[in-house]
Amino acid sequence: MTSFVVVANRLPVDASPGGLVSALQPIARSSGGAWVGWAGEPDDRPEPFEHEGVRIHPVELSGDDVDRYYEGQSNSTIWPLFHDSVEPPVHRRAWRVAYEQVNRRFAEAAAAASAQGATVWVHDYQLLLVPGMLRELRPDLRIGFFLHIPFPPVELFMQLPRRAEFLRGMLGADLVGFQQTLAAQNFLRLTAQLLGLHPEGERVEYEGRTVTARAFPISIDVAEIETLAADPAVQDDARRLRKDLGGDRRLLLLGVDRLDYTKGIDQRIEAYGELLADGTITNDEAVLVQVATPSRMRVEQYRQLRERVEREVGRINGEFGDVGRVPLHYLFQTRTRAELVALYLAADIMLVTPLRDGMNLVAKEYVAARRDEGGALVLSEFTGAHSELSEASGGAFSVNPYDVDDLKRGIAAAIAAGPADLAGRMRRMREQVLAHDVDRWARAFLETLG
């Protein structure tokens, strides 16, 4: 039993470095802590073991669990609903039953791993019921919950079957963290509307406890990205990529996303095609590189998205390309962090244009990588990152990704901007990102949790 326990859908074993693992593993290690999660393969449940100084407690998921709890309720119901129903959520009773059963399994594993009075930090939309279940099992614990994705407005959340149970599950935590202040306010409004509670400021009384709901915008491991950007091998790779992908062209535009319908890839490619069609840019002066990391390809909506994107890429290259020279390189593959940093260094303009995103760490990674204060960021208004890096604060070129004309305007503005303007924007964004790294985020949450 340990005094600090992280509970997340996935274990930190074989995970890509950065993000959640980079932030929490050192804290778990220094406190002799534990991590509860799924190993990533159906029906695989190794015994608890030690990994880089952290006690690992695997939770077993069957093939049916993966289908119903993970791909079903988590990624076909909650994910689209919490992302403004960009795609219609699918509601199935069997998925909700499996979600509850798996959440209970996680709660029981966390209870077994926690010492008396331990701090337990539960993460994300796959485990919304865990804080409440854990509270029932272990009322002595200090429980935090952080939601990494957006939290929807009241009218959207109200569509969720068994909605009150999800809200009560989250209220099992002492501190509920969100990416943005508006999300915390949505949550508190729901406690009044659904449960008849009386929130005041950031707090609400529930079952004799005070629950705090607050924004803690997540960030990145800035030191890791800067170290990679300064690596001569990564810089050589950036020059090679620039030559291989761009040739002698003046501009290299870049998109890096999971292949997900929330990321606005369709609209971005459509806008780029229209810029080529109206002559704002030509195949001789610009190239777009779109990296799309495979994601949830067993879910029908994701397969359809892949087909749409690849069809549009083919159309644009067929219409505006030339022999051995295309205006759009589409890479449906996973890249290492070092390879991504090389791409960031090669890119003149970074396009981060999701339809909805809790934060979007790619935007922050691009800024952290640009130690040369070069490059430009075109950023969707509907990302958590926008409140920190927006045009209003003299940083990114802000766009509405639902409006293809506005996307074109933002891209064209980034293309037309002068070197002094771009350097000033990048400098201001870097100041923000460097001052608010992922370690500061984790410590701010845990200090507030107490």
Written as six digits, the tokens of 65 are 């669990």
* Torsion sign across C-alpha atoms 258, 259, 264, 266: positive
**How far are the Cα atoms of 60, 122, 159, 349 from residue 162, in angstroms, in the given order?**
25, 21, 9, 44
Q: Is 357 considered catalytic here? A: yes
- Which one of the listed residues 357, 386, 436, 437 is annotated catalytic? 357
In whole angstroms, give the CA distance from residue 445 to residue 189: 22
**How far are the Cα atoms of 27, 239, 275, 314, 322 from residue 328, in angstroms, in the given order?**
43, 19, 12, 9, 11
- Which one of the listed residues 57, 83, 123, 148 is annotated catalytic? 148
Backbone angles phi, psi at 61, to 5 degrees: -125, 130
Query: b/e map of 262-285 (b: 16 or more CB within 10 Å)?
Result: bbbbbbbbbbbbbbbeeeebebee
Written as six digits, the tokens of 212 are 């705090």
What lies within 8 Å, CB to CB, of 425 at 6+ separation is 376, 377, 394, 395, 396, 417
DSSP letter for each residue of 192-219: HHHH----BTTEEEETTEEEEEEE----
Q: Is 64 considered catalytic here? A: no
In whole angstroms, give the CA distance from residue 6 to residue 444: 16
Catalytic residue numbers read: 148, 357
